[in-house]
Structures are given as structure tokens and as C-alpha cells.
């Protein structure tokens, strides 16, 4: 038995995620405390992430807690984790993925197809913005920041006709009834790592990684490794309108990616690849090959 402290953001979804890992470790006899923290990403809500430092703003304070020894591990939504971790930090575990797709949420319209011309749809994701514009160039895409509950409240207060959120967060918080429609990946390709939880530790703490090993989900880890390799190869951050999604079809890992031009609505470059993937290195190589195809198609 060991004693661990989990660093976590204090949003309802982040706490659910940390408590989920806490329960898994407790089932194995470990004693686990939570260290709740407010990150810069939580504090800055009046500007898009791409303009204030990227999604790394959600993990920096948690990494400081790990470095200072105040926490032993940090639980993240993997799509919020930068593609390259700082020296001394490792992604020690990836849990089984929840639904990776995007969800259409609206109080006014039961179906995506019912949105009238010029309807206001909220998202601050450049990926979602370019994909929405490709599907419906007639819509008005407006910024939407804040945690999940804040975004839903802004919708309920009438600021938007609809918003687009990750289905995983809604399902984890018991809010699946808010989903009007799930976008299939053929319509809205998810972000790299979407729906997956990643656990970060210090590389000098092998005992923490060993305690987490029973919860690692290998097929999810291979999928997100391929997706994140696309993003890394493209120099990806939240300032890049990039999507990447992988799934297993039998023994083959199927990987799709898309890049959009934020300055030219409807301009999308798509690429795909597949292979028999047995380890993280092979997954990364597949991601790099698909990124090369994106660049060959005009993505930059």
C-alpha cells in the first residue's frame, strides 16, 4: 500500500476525473488524497486559448505541484496535454477512452439540421470552427470559454442557439440528456486524445507508474499516441485547426486527420493511414506518416 496525492483542476469535470482515478487506486489498497488547484487556463476566460498560451495553461500549475513534491500524479483530459512534456515528466498511464466524438447541444433546436441560416454556434476550438464552417458556412461561430457547466449556462442564458462540446464530458457528469446529436467522425473529426484521460507523473517516480500500470488501456494508448504524433509532427497546439482520430478495425489501426484554413472557410485537407500497430513507436510512426500526407495536401 502507498499514499498518493493527485493534483487536479477544481472544475466539476476535472474533479470527477481525479476522483475516478482515486477510486481505482483505492480499490488496490492505496490511500489517495486530492490537491485541488486553479490553473491559468481556468482564470483567463475573456480570450481564446490560442492567444494566451495554449492548452498548456491547464497543466502548468499541476506540473509545478508534481515538481515540488506536493503531488505525486496529475489527471488530465488528454486533449489538454501539450504534445511534448517538459523534461522530467512522463505520461505514465492512459485509461480506457470514453466517447471521443463531439456533441451538438441546444435548448432551441432538436436537430443540427434545424439550425436556421445565421444561427449562432458557440465554440472556442479552432478545430471545431473550421469543421463547422465546412459543414455549414452559413452559421455564425462565436467564442465560448469556461468549464463545461459555464458553457452550458451561457447556452441556457440565451447567448447561443447551440454549442458544441465533447460528448465524453457530458456523459461523465451524467449530462447525456443535454446531447441533441452526436457528430460522427466523418462529419466532425475529434481532437487528438479527445475522450481519453492521461495521468502524468515525474519520470523519477517509477513506483507511481507501477501503481498506475493495472489501469492502462493499451488499445486506447496506441490510438492516442498515433493521434498525438500527427499533432506533434504538425507543430500542433490549440492555435492550429487540426483534428486526428484513430480506432482499431480488427488488427489494423485506422488513423484519420484533417487540417482547416481558419482564413478560408471550407478549405479542408484530409489524410489517412492504417497499419498493424503493436507498440507506441509504431503508432507514432503512423501519425508522422499521416501528418506528412497532410502537408503534401497543402496543410501548414
pLDDT of residue 236: 67
pLDDT of residue 57: 64
Judged on CB neighbours under 10 Å (0-12, 13-18, 19+), 69 is: exposed
pLDDT of residue 124: 85
Catalytic residue, chosen from 42, 80, 102, 161, is: 80
Query: Is 191 part of a structural domain of the chain?
Result: no
Q: Are residues 12 and 90 in the same domain?
A: yes
Judged on CB neighbours under 10 Å (0-12, 13-18, 19+), 282 is: middle
Q: Are residues 124 and 260 in the same domain?
A: no
Q: What is the CATH number of the domain that holds 300?
A: 3.30.160.40
Total domains in the chain come to: 3
Q: Are residues 85 and 32 in the same domain?
A: yes
Q: Are residues 49 and 79 in the same domain?
A: yes
156 belongs to the catalytic site: no
Domain containing 63: what range? 1-96+196-216
Q: Are residues 153 and 241 in the same domain?
A: no
Query: Is 39 part of a structural domain of the chain?
Result: yes
Query: Is 190 part of a structural domain of the chain?
Result: no
Q: Are residues 138 and 222 in the same domain?
A: no
| Residue-by-residue pLDDT tens, the chain, 300 positions | 689 999 999 999 999 999 999 999 999 999 999 999 876 545 444 444 444 444 556 688 899 999 999 999 999 999 988 888 999 999 999 999 999 999 999 999 999 999 999 999 999 899 999 999 999 999 999 999 888 999 999 999 999 999 999 999 999 999 999 999 999 999 999 999 999 999 999 999 999 999 999 999 999 999 999 999 999 999 866 678 999 999 999 999 999 999 998 777 678 999 999 999 999 999 999 999 999 999 999 998
Cell numbers placing 229: 504524433
Beta strands in the chain, from DSSP E residues, in sequence order: 3-9, 31-37, 73-77, 89-94, 102-105, 120-122, 140-142, 162-166, 179-182, 197-202, 242-249, 252-260, 268-276
Q: Model pTM?
A: 0.90
Query: Is 189 part of a structural domain of the chain?
Result: no
Query: Is 91 part of a structural domain of the chain?
Result: yes
Amino acid at each position: 500500500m502507498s499514499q498518493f496525492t493527485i493534483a487536479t483542476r477544481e472544475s466539476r469535470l476535472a474533479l470527477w476525473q481525479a476522483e475516478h482515478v482515486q477510486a481505482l487506486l483505492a480499490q488496490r489498497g492505496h490511500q489517495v488524497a486530492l490537491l485541488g488547484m486553479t490553473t491559468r487556463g481556468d482564470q483567463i476566460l475573456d480570450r481564446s486559448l490560442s492567444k494566451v498560451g495554449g492548452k498548456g495553461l491547464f497543466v502548468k500549475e499541476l506540473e509545478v505541484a508534481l515538481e515540488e513534491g506536493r503531488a505525486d500524479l496529475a489527471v488530465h483530459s488528454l486533449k489538454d496535454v501539450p504534445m511534448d512534456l517538459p523534461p522530467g515528466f512522463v505520461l505514465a498511464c492512459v485509461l480506457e477512452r470514453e466517447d471521443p466524438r463531439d456533441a451538438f447541444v441546444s435548448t432551441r433546436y432538436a436537430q443540427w439540421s434545424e439550425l436556421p441560416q445565421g444561427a449562432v454556434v458557440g465554440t472556442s476550438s479552432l478545430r471545431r470552427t473550421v469543421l463547422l464552417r465546412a459543414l455549414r458556412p452559413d452559421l455564425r461561430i462565436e467564442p465560448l470559454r469556461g468549464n463545461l457547466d459555464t458553457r452550458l449556462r451561457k447556452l441556457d442564458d440565451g447567448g447561443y442557439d447551440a454549442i458544441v462540446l465533447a460528448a465524453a464530458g457530458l456523459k461523465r457528469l451524467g449530462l447525456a440528456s443535454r446531447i441533441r446529436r452526436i457528430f460522427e467522425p466523418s462529419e466532425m473529426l475529434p481532437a487528438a486524445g479527445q475522450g481519453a484521460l492521461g495521468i502524468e507523473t515525474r519520470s523519477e517516480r517509477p513506483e507511481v507508474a507501477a501503481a498506475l500500470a493495472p489501469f492502462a488501456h493499451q488499445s486506447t494508448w496506441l490510438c492516442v499516441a498515433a493521434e498525438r504524433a500527427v499533432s506533434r509532427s504538425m507543430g500542433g497546439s490549440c492555435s492550429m485547426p487540426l483534428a486526428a482520430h484513430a480506432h482499431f478495425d480488427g488488427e489494423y489501426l485506422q488513423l484519420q486527420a484533417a487540417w482547416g484554413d481558419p482564413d478560408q472557410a471550407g478549405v479542408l485537407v484530409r489524410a489517412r493511414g492504417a497499419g498493424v500497430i503493436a507498440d507506441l513507436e509504431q503508432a507514432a510512426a503512423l501519425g508522422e506518416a499521416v501528418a506528412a500526407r497532410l502537408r503534401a495536401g497543402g496543410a501548414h
